[in-house]
C-alpha cells in the first residue's frame, strides 16, 4: 500500500461520517491531506518542504489546481503567495481572506499549515455545492515561507503582502547551501526585485482568518476539537552574557570565585518563576547557552544565554522584559560577576478583538460545541497580517501537543468540526462585518 493510501486510511479510520453536511466533506479533506503529504515526504514519513523550494511550489500548484476546480479565480503575487478568489455579490467590497501555508520545517508534520489552507478551501467547496454566494469577495490564500527553515526567519510571504521587511536586508540572507534570497526566489520563477510589488493595499482586505493546529495540549486536556485564539504572543529575544573570571577548579577556593555559570544558573532558575507574577499568558524560556572556556576542570569565566520572552499583550510582555533584566542585574551583583544584554528580536504581540472572539464563540455554540479561549504562544502569518488588518484564529486539537515532527497529528473529525465553525464564522461576518 502506498504512503498516500496509508495516510488517507489513518485519517478516515475514526472519522464520523455524520460530519459530512452543509457541503463539507471529510473524505475530500482526507484525500487532499494525503496528496499533499507525498510532496517532500521524508524517510521518517515526515514533511520536508522548505520555503521557496520546488517542493513548496509543487504543493502550491497542487492546491491552486483544486482552487480552479472549485471555481475560484487563481492568481499569484510577487512574493509567491497564491490566492483563489470567489467573487462576492458586492465584489467591490474589501475581501475576507482565509488560509495559511504549505511549507514545513525539515522532517516536520503534515498538518501545520496545510490544515489552514485546506479548511479555507473546503469552505469555498461547501459554498459551491450549496449554491451560496457571499456578499463580499472571499479569498483562499497560501502564504510563502512561513516556517523560515530556509533562512532562519520566516513570514516572507505574509510580510510581502503587508509591505513589511527590508528588501536589502532580505537580499543579504543565505540558505545552508550558500544560496542568496535572490537566487532562491529565481529558482522558483520569482524575482527579488519584484518582491516589493507583492504589497497589497490593506483597504482591500476586511479580515484574515487562520485555522491552525494548536501545537499544545490545552484543547486535548479539555477534550475539545477546536478553540478560540485570544491573541498571538510577540516574542522578544534577549542575549544575556554573564562575565566572571576563569580559574583552576582545584586551586581557587569557593569563597574567592567569580563563577559565571553559577550566576547564570541562578538566573535561569529565577526566570522560570517570573512570568506568572506578571501575566497569566506570559512565558519565558532559556533554551540555548554557551559556556566558556567549557572545560571540565576550569571555572566558567563567561556564559552567554538566550531568553525567549512572550505574551499576547504588549504592556505585560514589555514589563516582563524589564523584570528579567532587573533580576539579571541583581543576580550578577550577588555573584560578583558582570552582566550585559543584547536584544536580538522584538515583535509586537497581536491581541484578537473581543468582538471577533465573541462571534467565533457564537459560531462554535451554533455547532453544539463548548467554546474555549486560549492564547497562541507561537507566531503565525496572522501575527504579521494583524499588525495592519483585523485577524481571527481558530486552533484545532493536537494529539499530545506534538508539532514540527512526523508524529504531529490531528484527528480528521476535529479538523472537520473546525471547518464547520470556520464556515459559520465566515458567513456571520459576511452579514455583520467587523
Same domain, 384 and 288: no
Same domain, 219 and 246: no
Report CA-CA distances (Å) from 13 to 9, 118, 270. 6, 20, 47
Total domains present in the chain: 2
- pLDDT score, position 151: 82
Same domain, 368 and 240: no
Give me the mean pLDDT over the 185-210 stretch. 96
- Residue ending a domain, among 346, 369, 396, is 346
Same domain, 112 and 255: no
Task: Yes or no: say if 406 and 107 are a contact pair by the CB < 8 Å rule.
Answer: yes
Same domain, 299 and 426: no
| Residue environment code for 381-420, b if the CB has 16+ CB neighbours within 10 A, otherwise e | bbbbbbbebbbbbbbbbbeebbbbebebbbbbbbbbbbbb
**Average predicted confidence (pLDDT) for the chain:** 95
Task: Yes or no: say if 143 and 120 are a contact pair by the CB < 8 Å rule.
Answer: no
Same domain, 7 and 116: yes
**For residue 432, pLDDT beyond 80:** no
Percent of residues, the chain, with pLDDT higher than 90: 91
pLDDT band at 433 (very low <50, low <70, confident <90, very high): low
pTM comes to 0.87
- pLDDT score, position 377: 84
Give me the mean pLDDT over the 293-302 stretch. 96
Same domain, 16 and 85: yes
- Residue ending a domain, among 286, 314, 346, is 346
**For residue 331, pLDDT beyond 80:** yes
- pLDDT score, position 113: 97
Give me the mean pLDDT over the 265-289 stretch. 96
pLDDT band at 378 (very low <50, low <70, confident <90, very high): confident
Does 92 show up as a binding residue in the annotation? Answer: no
Give me the mean pLDDT over the 92-117 stretch. 97
Q: Name the grid cell of 98.
A: 482565509
Same domain, 138 and 127: yes
272 alpha-carbon distance from chain centroid: 23
293 alpha-carbon distance from chain centroid: 37
Does 380 show up as a binding residue in the annotation? Answer: no
Same domain, 244 and 219: no
Give me the mean pLDDT over the 346-370 stretch. 95
Phi/psi at 271 (nearest 5 deg)? -55, -40
Does 404 show up as a binding residue in the annotation? Answer: yes
Same domain, 26 and 159: yes
Task: Yes or no: say if 54 and 188 are a contact pair by the CB < 8 Å rule.
Answer: yes
Output the domain CATH number for residue 303: 3.30.70.360
**Residue 254 sits in which domain range?**
234-346
Q: Name the grid cell of 25.
A: 466533506
Same domain, 244 and 273: yes
Note the pLDDT tens digit of each residue in 113-134: 999 999 999 999 999 999 999 9
pLDDT band at 431 (very low <50, low <70, confident <90, very high): confident
- pLDDT score, position 434: 55
Same domain, 239 and 228: no
CA end-to-end span of the chain: 48
Output the domain CATH number for residue 396: 3.40.630.10
Phi/psi at 20 (nearest 5 deg)? -85, 90
Closest C-alpha to 69, from 19, 97, 39, 31: 31
What does the H/E/C string look like for the chain? CCHHHHHHHHHHCCCCHHHCCCCCCHHHHHHHHHHHHCCCECCCCCECCCCCCHHHHHHHHHHHHHHHHCCCEEEECCCCCEEEEECCCCCCCCEEEEEEECCCCCCECCCCCHHHHHHHHHHHHHHHHHCCCCCCCEEEEEECCCCCCCCCCCCHHHHHHHCCCCHHHHHCCECCCCCEHHHHHHHCCCCHHHHHHHCCCHHHEEEEEEEEECCCCHHHHHCCCEEEEEEECEEEEEEEEEECECEECCCCCHHHCECHHHHHHHHHHHHCCCHHHCCCCCEEEEEEEEEECCCCCEECCEEEEEEEEEECCHHHHHHHHHHHHHHHHHHHHHCCCEEEEEEEEECCCEECCHHHHHHHHHHHHCCCCCCCEEEECCCCHHHHHCCCCCEEEEEECCHHHCCCCCCCCCCHHHHHHHHHHHHHHHHHHHHHCC
- Residue ending a domain, among 346, 363, 378, is 346
Amino acid at each position: 500500500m502506498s504512503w498516500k493510501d496509508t495516510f488517507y486510511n489513518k485519517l478516515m479510520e475514526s472519522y464520523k461520517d455524520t460530519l459530512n453536511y452543509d457541503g463539507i466533506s471529510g473524505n475530500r479533506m482526507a484525500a487532499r491531506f494525503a496528496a499533499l503529504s507525498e510532496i517532500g515526504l521524508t524517510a521518517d514519513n515526515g514533511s520536508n518542504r522548505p520555503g521557496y523550494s520546488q517542493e513548496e511550489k509543487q504543493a502550491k500548484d497542487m492546491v491552486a489546481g483544486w482552487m480552479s476546480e472549485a471555481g475560484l479565480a487563481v492568481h499569484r503575487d510577487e512574493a509567491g503567495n497564491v490566492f483563489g478568489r470567489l467573487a462576492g455579490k458586492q465584489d467591490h467590497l474589501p475581501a475576507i481572506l482565509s488560509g495559511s501555508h504549505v511549507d514545513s520545517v525539515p522532517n516536520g508534520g503534515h498538518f501545520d499549515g496545510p490544515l489552514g489552507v485546506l479548511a479555507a478551501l473546503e469552505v469555498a467547496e461547501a459554498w459551491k455545492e450549496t449554491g451560496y454566494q457571499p456578499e463580499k469577495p472571499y479569498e483562499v490564500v497560501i502564504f510563502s515561507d512561513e516556517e523560515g527553515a530556509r533562512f532562519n526567519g520566516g513570514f516572507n510571504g505574509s510580510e510581502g503582502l503587508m509591505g513589511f521587511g527590508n528588501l536589502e536586508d532580505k537580499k543579504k540572507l543565505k540558505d545552508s547551501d550558500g544560496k542568496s534570497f535572490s537566487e532562491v526566489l529565481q529558482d522558483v520563477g520569482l524575482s527579488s526585485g519584484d518582491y516589493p510589488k507583492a504589497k497589497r493595499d490593506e483597504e482591500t482586505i476586511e479580515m484574515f482568518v487562520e485555522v491552525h493546529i494548536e501545537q499544545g495540549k490545552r484543547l486535548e486536556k479539555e477534550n475539545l476539537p477546536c478553540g478560540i485564539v485570544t491573541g498571538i504572543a510577540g516574542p522578544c529575544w534577549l542575549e544575556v552574557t554573564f562575565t566572571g573570571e576563569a580559574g583552576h577548579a582545584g586551586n581557587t577556593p569557593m569563597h574567592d570565585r567569580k563563577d559565571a555559570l553559577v550566576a547564570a544558573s541562578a538566573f535561569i532558575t529565577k526566570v522560570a518563576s517570573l512570568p506568572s507574577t506578571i501575566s497569566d499568558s506570559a512565558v519565558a524560556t532559556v533554551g540555548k547557552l554557551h559556556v566558556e572556556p567549557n572545560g571540565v576542570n576550569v571555572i566558567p569565566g563567561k556564559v552567554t544565554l538566550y531568553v525567549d520572552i512572550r505574551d499576547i499583550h504588549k504592556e505585560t510582555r514589555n514589563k516582563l522584559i524589564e523584570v528579567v533584566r532587573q533580576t539579571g542585574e541583581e543576580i550578577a551583583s550577588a555573584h560578583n560577576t558582570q552582566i550585559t544584554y543584547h536584544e536580538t528580536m522584538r515583535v509586537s504581540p497581536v491581541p484578537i478583538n473581543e468582538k471577533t472572539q465573541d462571534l467565533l464563540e457564537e459560531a462554535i455554540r451554533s455547532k453544539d460545541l463548548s467554546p474555549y479561549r486560549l492564547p497562541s504562544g507561537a507566531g503565525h502569518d496572522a501575527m504579521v497580517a494583524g499588525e495592519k488588518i483585523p485577524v481571527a484564529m481558530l486552533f484545532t486539537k493536537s494529539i499530545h501537543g506534538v508539532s514540527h515532527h512526523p508524529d504531529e497529528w490531528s484527528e480528521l473529525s476535529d479538523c472537520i468540526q473546525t471547518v464547520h465553525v470556520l464556515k459559520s464564522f465566515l458567513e456571520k461576518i459576511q452579514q455583520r462585518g467587523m
